[in-house]
């Protein structure tokens, strides 16, 4: 890590700078200090997903989810038409509605990157034409505001107008559409809108402020990466610096923490307030740390990360316990019927991936994997057309919803990125973070390398990785050893590697001149684990949860009708793979205290047969809070 060398220098100059300089000057002062080889995920189109777990899902999202969600874009299209001066019948959208359309367009961009589709591309091009017509001469583009005759970036309504949130999703969709199709119109529209935002906030007559719903911060950094104009990085940073200084009025009774405005960044110790806004904000802070090398930002991102993952996260990776203000609770306040918004889980993946890129350790990816395979996948039904806005760990027979606003399009745009979450690379390294069957081409300009992965993950932990390279190439292959795995094994070209070349960062690291057909076999044993929560989590006292590999399990009423979920002391579990059930799942079987059969299925697969009760944490006869040594863990297996 380069942190130590940086901290002393940057913190000293930083402290002086906070007092005297504007955010822009701060940024100008420190830009380019990063110094590390760039790390990045591959483009979505470089990853072919071909395994039995993810490939059928992506097919469902492509064939069912995209057409279904299009049915819910009517009000957004009408709003764009109205902003083009066309006559329309029917309701127009609300303040945050256009973000739904951009999330839909981003979803389509990923699908097109993997699977060209002329019809779909034509549909997106038609929307882009409407966007072009709705854009104001100065670049501002938010049809809701234009149609309602409201003030762009209204200083009296910055917390409620969602101007920045909508623009952030527009930028992300435009970047992905450019990457997928090479067409530049959408990106030009988004860039013009970002330039308007820059002029509004940081131009000669700039007005300090920020959108109350974070999102634009990370989108601007992504735009800066693609179109290296430093103004986007400066604006992102200004939005962070202006927080906690009373620049934005709360639009209702909400506390300032709701929109991360209670205290300035350097005094903010934990992630608070509206969980979705908070994790998006934190992801933006991590992004700025990555691009500037600023230690204040890096330290803040780490404080935020620790506050969530060590004290405020569910075992499924969900975040945001409270329904009131859709907010984080206090430390260890994790009621099993808590709020757990799908969007917060999606945001956790954004945040986790950036924390990995910042620290290059496996722990953020452990959280990413936990959240992806549990909270995020639970949000969407197996048939891809109904969703949960909330994903509590204990639920009555609450039906899924087929409406497609807010969380649903966020789930689809997130799930299409599974290939991007699976890998990362620098000029000298390839990281294999998730185990997804198929292939990935690392887009090195000279001597590109592909990895071909065969696996039945997450049902078993045997993973074979074969290198394809035209010429031998020296690089370090980093394979993540998940936190849940003990006794991992690895073979290189048929020979066992002992001891395991495990680094402090949580990876097996093999550096050598790799050549065509070199093969690594990774074995990750997956016993059923009885998990316990930190003793301060009152809702889990005397209870256990089941986990196997990355999957957290749950009990559903339909399999355990009328049975009191009270496990026998020292209960044992049998596993059985059921290809015929729920798209193919490994189920766990055990016995209740009074000797009846119980069945648990993966948490993500709950609520896919009929409306039924769902339960993750269950009582076990004799289970007691374990108060020994709980350093840096919120959940751990019972030994």
Question: Considering the complex, what minimum distance in angstroms separates the CB of residue 33 from Zn ion?
Answer: 36
Report the nearest approach of Zn ion to the CB of residue 404 (Å).
11
Q: Which is nearer to Zn ion, 411 or 418 (CB)?
A: 411
Residue whose CB is less far from Zn ion, 407 or 551:
407
Q: How far is CA 528 from CA 375, 473, 539, 569, in A?
A: 19, 39, 22, 16
Q: Which of 49, 77, 406, 469 binds Zn ion (CB under 5 A)?
A: 406
Q: Cβ 123 to Zn ion, closest distance in Å?
A: 24
Scanning 82-90, 405-413, 441-449, 458-466 for contacts with Zn ion by CB under 5 A, the matching segment is 405-413
Kindly state the smallest distance separating residue 275's Cβ from Zn ion, in Å.
10
Q: Which stretch binds Zn ion (CB under 5 A): 50-58, 134-142, 401-409, 459-467?
A: 401-409
Please give the DSSP secondary-structure letter assigned to residue 380: B
Judged on CB neighbours under 10 Å (0-12, 13-18, 19+), 416 is buried
Nearest residue (CB) to Zn ion, 356 versus 388: 388
Q: Contacts with Zn ion in 518-577 (CB under 5 A)?
A: none
Q: Which is nearer to Zn ion, 175 or 406 (CB)?
A: 406
Number of residues that bind Zn ion (CB under 5 A): 3
Q: At what angle do helices 216-226 and 163-181 cross, to 10 degrees?
A: 30
Q: Are 413 and 65 in contact (CB under 8 A)?
A: no
CB of 288 to Zn ion, least distance (A): 24
Shortest Å distance, C-beta 346 to Zn ion = 8
**Stretch binding Zn ion (CB under 5 A), from 107-115, 190-198, 398-406, 419-427:** 398-406
Nearer to Zn ion, 218 or 407 (CB): 407
Name, in order, each residue with C-beta under 8 angstroms of 536's C-beta and a sequence gap of 6 or more. 331, 332
The rounded Cα 483 to chain-centroid distance in angstroms is: 19
Q: Considering only the stretches 26-34, 220-228, 402-410, 458-466, report the one whose residues sit in contact with Zn ion under the rule CB under 5 A.
A: 402-410
- Of 375 and 406, the one with the shorter C-beta distance to Zn ion is 406
| Sheet with 473-480, side-by-side order of all strands | 423-425, 429-432, 473-480, 507-514
Select the span of 194-202, 222-230, 342-350, 461-469 touching Zn ion (CB under 5 A).
342-350
343 interacts with Zn ion by CB under 5 A:
yes
The encoded tokens of residue 469 equal 């390279």
Nearest to Zn ion of 107, 292 (CB atom): 107
Integer Cα distance of 553 and 579 in angstroms: 17
3-state SS track over 165-193 = HHHHHHHHHHHHHHHHHCCCHHHHHHHHH
CB of 144 to Zn ion, least distance (A): 18
Tell me how far apart the terminal alpha carbons of the chain are, to the nearest angstrom.
33
Q: Of 343 and 598, which CB lies nearer to Zn ion in the complex structure?
A: 343
Beta-bridged to residue 341, according to DSSP, are 390
Q: How many Cβ atoms from other residues are within 10 Å of residue 310's Cβ?
A: 16
Of the candidate spans 102-110, 319-327, 335-343, 625-633, the one that interacts with Zn ion by CB under 5 A turns out to be: 335-343
> What crossing angle do the helices spanning 118-134 and 185-202 adopt, rounded to 10°?
30
398 exposure class (CB count in 10 Å sphere: 0-12, 13-18, 19+): middle
Burial 25-43 (b: 16+ CB within 10 A, else e): ebbeebbebbeeeebebbb
Query: Do residues 133 and 84 make contact, with C-beta atoms less than 8 angstroms apart?
Result: yes
Report if residue 112 touches Zn ion, rule: CB under 5 A: no
Residue 380 C-beta: closest distance to Zn ion, Å: 12
Question: How far, in whole angstroms, is CA 637 from its chain's centroid?
Answer: 25
Nearer to Zn ion, 413 or 534 (CB): 413
User: How many Cβ atoms from other residues are within 10 Å of residue 303's Cβ?
Assistant: 18
- In the bound state with Zn ion, the residue whose beta carbon lies nearer, of 376 and 432, is 376
The nearest distance, CB 499 to Zn ion, in angstroms, is 45
Q: CB under 5 A: which stretch of 173-181, 338-346, 390-398, 493-501 binds Zn ion?
A: 338-346
Rounded CA-CA distance 176/564 in Å is 49
At residue 174, φ and ψ (nearest 5 deg) are -65, -40
Q: Which of 372, 407, 451, 558 binds Zn ion (CB under 5 A)?
A: 407
Q: Cα–Cα distance between 414 and 585 in angstroms, integer?
A: 22
Q: How far is the CB of 130 from Zn ion (least distance, A)?
A: 24
Give, as ranges, the residues between 271 and 330 that touch Zn ion (CB under 5 A): none
Q: Which is nearer to Zn ion, 211 or 479 (CB)?
A: 211
Which tokens in the block code for residue 209?
């402020």
**What's the closest the beta carbon of residue 260 comes to Zn ion, in angstroms?**
17
Please name every residue paired with 508 in a beta bridge, in sequence order, or none if there are none.
479, 502
Taking the C-alpha atoms of residue 572 and residue 302, their distance in angstroms, rounded to an integer, is 38
Specify the residue, 401 or 464, whose C-beta has the smaller distance to Zn ion.
Answer: 401
Residue (382 or 407) nearer to Zn ion, CB = 407
Question: Residue 389 or residue 425: which is nearer to Zn ion going by CB?
Answer: 389
Cβ-Cβ contacts under 8 Å for 153 (sequence gap 6 or more): 140, 161, 163, 197, 200, 201, 207, 209
Nearest to Zn ion by Cβ — which residue? Answer: 343
Q: What is the residue whose two structure tokens read 């550096």?
A: 511
The distance of closest approach from Cβ of residue 141 to Zn ion in the complex, given in angstroms and rounded to an integer, is 22
Q: How near is the Cβ of 406 to Zn ion at its closest, in Å?
A: 4
Residue 239: CB minimum distance to Zn ion, A: 21
Is 271:278 a contact under the CB 8 Å cutoff?
Answer: yes
* Segment near Zn ion (CB under 5 A); pick from 378-386, 407-415, 498-506, 590-598: 407-415
Stretch that binds Zn ion, among 101-109, 343-351, 468-476, 504-512 (CB under 5 A): 343-351
Contact residues toward Zn ion (CB under 5 A) are: 343, 406-407
């Amino acid at each position: 890590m380069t942190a130590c060398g940086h901290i002393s220098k940057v913190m000293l100059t930083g402290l002086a700078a906070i007092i005297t300089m504007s955010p822009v000057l701060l940024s100008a002062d420190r830009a380019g200090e990063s110094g590390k080889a760039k790390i990045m995920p591959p483009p979505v189109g470089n990853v072919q997903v071909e395994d039995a777990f993810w490939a059928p899902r992506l097919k469902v999202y492509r064939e069912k989810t995209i057409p279904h969600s299009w049915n819910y874009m009517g009000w957004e299209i009408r709003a764009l038409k109205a902003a083009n001066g066309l006559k329309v019948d029917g309701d127009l959208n609300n303040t945050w509605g256009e973000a739904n359309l951009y999330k839909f367009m981003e979803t389509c961009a990923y699908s097109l990157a993997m699977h060209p589709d002329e019809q779909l591309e034509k549909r997106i091009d038609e929307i882009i034409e409407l966007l072009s017509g709705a854009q104001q001469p100065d670049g501002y583009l938010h049809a809701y505001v234009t149609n309602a005759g409201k003030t762009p970036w209204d200083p009296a309504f910055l917390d409620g107008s969602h101007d920045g949130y909508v623009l952030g999703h527009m930028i992300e969709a435009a970047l992905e559409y450019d990457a997928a199709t090479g067409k530049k119109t959408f990106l030009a529209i988004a860039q013009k809108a970002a330039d308007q935002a820059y002029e509004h906030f940081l131009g000669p007559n700039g007005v300090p402020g920020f959108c109350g719903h974070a999102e634009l911060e990370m989108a601007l950094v992504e735009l800066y990466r693609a179109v290296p104009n430093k103004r986007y990085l400066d604006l992102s940073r200004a939005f962070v610096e202006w927080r906690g200084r009373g620049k934005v009025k709360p639009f209702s009774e909400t506390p300032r923490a709701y929109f991360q405005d209670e205290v300035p960044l350097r005094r903010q110790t934990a992630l608070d307030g509206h969980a979705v806004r908070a994790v998006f904000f934190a992801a933006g802070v991590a992004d700025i740390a990555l691009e500037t090398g600023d230690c204040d930002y890096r330290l803040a991102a780490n404080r935020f990360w620790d506050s969530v993952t060590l004290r405020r996260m569910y075992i499924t990776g969900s975040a945001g316990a409270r329904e009131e203000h859709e907010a984080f609770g206090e430390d260890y306040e994790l009621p099993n019927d808590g709020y757990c918004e799908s969007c917060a889980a999606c945001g956790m993946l954004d945040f986790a991936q950036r924390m990995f890129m910042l620290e290059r350790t496996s722990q953020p990816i452990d959280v990413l994997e936990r959240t992806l395979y549990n909270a995020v996948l639970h949000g969407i039904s197996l048939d891809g057309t109904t969703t949960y806005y909330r994903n509590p760990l204990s639920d009555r027979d609450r039906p899924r919803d087929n409406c497609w606003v807010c969380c649903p399009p966020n789930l689809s745009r997130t799930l299409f990125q599974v290939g991007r979450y699976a890998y990362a690379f620098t000029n000298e390294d390839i990281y294999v973070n998730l185990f997804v069957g198929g292939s990935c081409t690392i887009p090195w300009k000279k001597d590109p390398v592909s990895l071909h992965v065969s696996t039945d993950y997450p049902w078993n932990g045997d993973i074979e990785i074969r290198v394809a390279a035209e010429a031998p190439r020296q690089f370090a292959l980093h394979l993540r050893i998940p936190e849940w795995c003990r006794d991992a094994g690895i073979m290189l070209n048929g020979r066992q590697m002992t001891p395991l070349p495990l680094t402090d960062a949580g990876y097996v690291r093999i550096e050598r001149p790799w050549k065509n057909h070199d093969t690594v076999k990774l074995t990750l044993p997956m016993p059923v684990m009885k998990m316990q929560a930190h003793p301060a989590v009152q809702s889990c006292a005397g209870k256990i949860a089941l986990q196997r590999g990355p999957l957290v399990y749950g009990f559903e009423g339909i399999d355990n009708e009328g049975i009191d979920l009270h496990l026998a002391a020292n209960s044992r579990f049998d596993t059985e793979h059921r290809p015929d059930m729920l798209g193919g799942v490994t189920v766990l079987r055990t016995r209740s205290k009074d000797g009846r059969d119980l069945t648990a299925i993966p948490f993500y697969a709950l609520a896919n047969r009929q409306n039924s009760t769902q339960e993750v944490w269950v009582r076990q006869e004799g289970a007691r809070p374990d108060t020994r040594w709980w350093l840096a863990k919120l959940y751990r297996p019972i030994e």
